[in-house]
Structure 1
Amino acid sequence: MDFSLCRLNHIPRIVPAGTGSSITPQNMLGLEGGIQFSNTDFNQQFDIGQLLLRYGLTEQFEVRALLGSYTSFDQELLGGSRTVTGFQDMGIGAKYKLLSNESKIDLSALAEISLPVGSDEFTSNEVVPSIGLLADYAFHETLSFSSNLGYTLGVGDLEDHWLFTVTPGFTISDNVGGYFGYAGRYYGNFEQHWIEGGITFGLNSGVQLDANIGYDTENEITFIGAGFAKGF
C-alpha cells in the first residue's frame, strides 16, 4: 500500500504506507486493500478500501490501478463538529525492474498519475504525476532493508514534494515477519516525519495479512491499520 493523499477544503492530509521494489509475476493479477484509522487532537479519519490492482506484463514490468478509498473525516470546530464522507482520487501507474536480486539488491522505478475523480471534499482537482526509486537489500534470509525515494510534481495550487522512507524488515517465523522504520514527506514549508512499524502474516491460501501502527512526530498524528494482499 502506498502513501495516499486526500484533500479536505484544500488542506492536505497524508496517511502512510510503503511500496516495495517487487514486480508482480508475469500474467498474474495482484490485489491489495486495507483499512486505516488516523487521529489528531481535532480530527479523525477512517479509510476503507486502499485498493491497488497490479498486473505483471513481463517479469520486469507491471501496470497498476490505484482505486482509492472511501473516507469518513470528522473535524472538531468552534461551536461544534462536522463529518464529511466520500471517495478519494484514483490513479494509474507502472513499475519497472532495474536490477535483479542476483546481487542481493532489487531496484525498481515507479511512475504514477493521480486522477481527479474523487468526491468534491477529497479530490485534488488536478492530474498529479509522481516518480520514485524503490530499493530492497537482503542482508540474509532473516533480515532485509527497504528504501524509497519519490518526487511528486507541483500542479495548480499543489506544492511539489519529496518522499523518503527507510524500513528494515525481519523474519519471525516461516510465515510471520515484522518491520519498522521512518517515512518522511518534505514540502516547501511543511513536513511530516512518521515512525511506523508492523507485522505480516502469510496464510496457506497465499493471502498475506498485515497490521501496522505509526506516529507523525512533527504533526502529532497517530494511525493504525490493517491490510491484505493476494495474487491470482
Structure 2
Amino acid sequence: MNKYNWLKHSLLLTVVLMILTANVFSQKLNTDRPDQSDGAGVIEKGKIQLESSVYFTVVDENKRSVVSSNLVRYGLIDNFEVRVLAEQGHHRDLFIEETAQSQYPLAVSAKWSLLRDKKSLPDISLVGYLQVPVTSGTQSSIWSPAVLLIVEKQWEPFTLTLNTGARQEAFSKDWDLQATADLKFDLGEHWQVFGEYFAQFSKVLPFHNVDAGVLYYLNRKWMVHASAGTSLAHHPHNYFINSGFAVQIN
C-alpha cells in the first residue's frame, strides 16, 4: 500500500463511523487524546473506544514524518481497561526517537482507576504500557515497559491533569522520566480547548515541549480535534500539527 493511501482509508473510516454512531449529545466523551497526558478516566465495562490521530512532524529542516497514532480502549471490568496502541507511518522510527509526543510502534496497555468521584480529592489512576517488538522498521525494538501515575482534578470549567512516571525507550535499554501538565477549559457543551507542557528527562538532557489544541464533541460518542506543538530550547528543534477523532463504537 502506498504510504499515503492509509490517509484516504482513515477518512473513509471516519465518515462511516460517524454515521453509525450518531446520537443525541448528552455528555463529553472520555478520551486520552489529543494531548500527551493520559486522563484518569477509564472506559465503562463492555465499551470499546477508538482514538486516532495523525501527526505531521518537522524534526529539522530536512526531516519530516507523517505518523498515525491509534489507541483502542476496552472496559474489561469496573475501574479497569485494557488497550492497544499502534504508531505507524512515514519515518516512524525517526518520529519515535526524536520527539516527545511519540510512545511505541506497538504496545499493549492497561489503566486502573484507583480513586475517583471524591469531591475533595483528585481522581487518581495508574497506566502501564508494554512494547510488543514485532513491527518492522529500521531498528530493533525490545520489550520496553512504561508506568505512569495520573492525577486529575476538575474545577468547572477547568480540568487539570498531571502525569509522571518512567519509560524505557523503544529502541534501547535506556530509561526516561516523563512528566506532563495539561489544563483543559470547557467552552459550553461541544467545545473544549487545552494547553499543555510535556517533557522527557534522560541521562543526557531534558526535552521540554508545549502544545495546545481544540476539541469538538459532535455527540456523546464522537469527538474530533486539532492541535499543534513545539519543542523548547532543544536541538534539533521540532514542531508538529495533529488532527484526528475519537469514537465509542458500542
With structure 2 as the length reference, what TM-score do the two structures score? 0.75
In the TM superposition, 1:143-162 aligns within 5 A as 143-153=158-168, 157-162=172-177
Supply the AA of the counterpart residue of 2:40.
S
State the alpha-carbon separation in 2 of the partners of residues 101 and 160 from structure 1. 33
State the alpha-carbon separation in 1 of the partners of residues 42 and 177 from structure 2. 23
Number of the residue aligned with 1:42: 62
Any runs of at least 4 consecutive aligned residues in structure 1 with deviations exceeding 6 A, and if so which?
A: none
What percentage of residue pairs aligned between the two structures are identical?
21
Number of the residue aligned with 2:122: 105
Segment of structure 1 superposing worse, 205-214 or 193-202 = 205-214
State the alpha-carbon separation in 1 of the partners of residues 167 and 158 from structure 2. 30
Describe the superposition over 1:55-98 as per-residue Cα deviations: whole angstroms up to 9, x where unpaired.
Answer: 001220000111222234699xxxxxxxxxxxx72110111001
Candidates 62, 65, 89, aligned match of 1:70: 89
Query: 1 or 2, which has the higher helix percentage?
Result: 2
Structure 1: tracts of 5 or more residues without a match = 4-15, 76-87
Shift of the 91–102 alpha-carbon distance from structure 1 to 2, 3 Å rule, reads: same
State the alpha-carbon separation in 1 of the partners of residues 92 and 105 from structure 2. 15
State the alpha-carbon separation in 1 of the partners of residues 175 and 61 from structure 2. 27
- Residue 182 of structure 1 deviates from its aligned partner by 0.4
- SS for the counterpart of 1:23 is coil
- The CA RMSD over aligned residues, in Å, is 2.4
State the alpha-carbon separation in 1 of the partners of residues 131 and 140 from structure 2. 9
Query: 1 or 2, which has the higher strand percentage?
Result: 1
Number of the residue aligned with 2:13: none
Structure 2: tracts of 5 or more residues without a match = 1-30, 95-103
- Residue 132 of structure 1 deviates from its aligned partner by 0.6
Candidates 95, 100, 106, aligned match of 2:111: 95
Number of the residue aligned with 1:12: none
Supply the AA of the counterpart residue of 1:209.
V
In the TM superposition, 1:130-141 aligns within 5 A as 130-140=146-156
Number of the residue aligned with 1:229: 246
In the TM superposition, 1:203-218 aligns within 5 A as 203-204=218-219, 206-218=221-233
The answer (yes or no) to whether the contact 1:35–1:46 under 8 Å persists in 2 is: yes
1:57 equivalenced with 2:72 (yes/no): no
The answer (yes or no) to whether the contact 1:44–1:73 under 8 Å persists in 2 is: no
In the TM superposition, 1:158-173 aligns within 5 A as 158-173=173-188
Number of the residue aligned with 1:81: none
The answer (yes or no) to whether the contact 1:43–1:74 under 8 Å persists in 2 is: no
- Residue 111 of structure 1 deviates from its aligned partner by 1.1
With structure 1 as the length reference, what TM-score do the two structures score? 0.81
- Residue 28 of structure 1 deviates from its aligned partner by 0.1
- Residue 172 of structure 1 deviates from its aligned partner by 1.3
State the alpha-carbon separation in 1 of the partners of residues 220 and 76 from structure 2. 24
Q: Which has the higher contact order (CA 8 A, sep 6+)?
A: 2
Describe the superposition over 1:107-149 as per-residue Cα deviations: whole angstroms up to 9, x where unpaired.
Answer: 100111011122222x552110110111210012x11111100
The answer (yes or no) to whether the contact 1:43–1:73 under 8 Å persists in 2 is: no
Supply the AA of the counterpart residue of 1:110.
V
State the alpha-carbon separation in 1 of the partners of residues 206 and 140 from structure 2. 19
In the TM superposition, 1:19-34 aligns within 5 A as 19-34=38-53
Shift of the 107–205 alpha-carbon distance from structure 1 to 2, 3 Å rule, reads: closer
Number of the residue aligned with 2:17: none
Supply the AA of the counterpart residue of 1:136.
E
Number of the residue aligned with 1:183: 198
